[in-house]
Amino acid sequence: MTAIETYNSIEAQAESDSEWEDDPDFVHACLSRGLERGSLATNDHEQLSKCGLCAKCKENIIGHENGCKALGALYHVNCFVCQKCREPLVKKPFYHTDGLTYCEQDYLDTLEKCDVCNDHIKERILRAVEKRYHPECFKCSACASCLDGVPFTLDSDNNVLCVQCYN
């Protein structure tokens, strides 16, 4: 089973000065380099570059509007992208699994679909009779009761039936 981290979005650091209030590590890194609160809004590229390297390209991030913080690291806005479509993920929901980061649609496209409703299976998958189901979609063909965790059988036409309907 893979650990999947789901995020609503990452805001670019340029959105506000709240980075100083919300991230003690960021504040410590900047203060230890002699930067003061509010100095990130200046055009002093030498000072701005001292706040961090992009975790992907290892280059300095010049100007806080060009960077974002995600997954515990700093990135250029154009480096923090979906592994598949390469679209930037700033201000977008994204998923991080097996060390890879995906936009919502590309992540959903990696998932299996339920053979009954054809929706992506985001949580637990139920496999039965060589098919994939959401647990709530695996139902008796006759009475429509949910068969998740319940004994079932097949009739001569391979229809799934609960034990009561089969008798």
Residue 79: pLDDT over 50: yes
DSSP 55-121: TTT--B--SGGGEEEETTEEEETTTSB-TTT--B-BTS-EEEETTEEEEHHHHHTTS-B-TTT--B-
Question: What does the pLDDT look like over 45-77, one tens digit per residue?
Answer: 444 444 678 889 998 888 767 888 888 888 889
Q: Which residue has the higher pLDDT, 72 or 147?
A: 147
Summary mean pLDDT of the chain: 76
pTM above 0.75, yes or no: no
pLDDT of residue 59: 87
The pLDDT confidence band at residue 12, using thresholds 50, 70 and 90, is very low
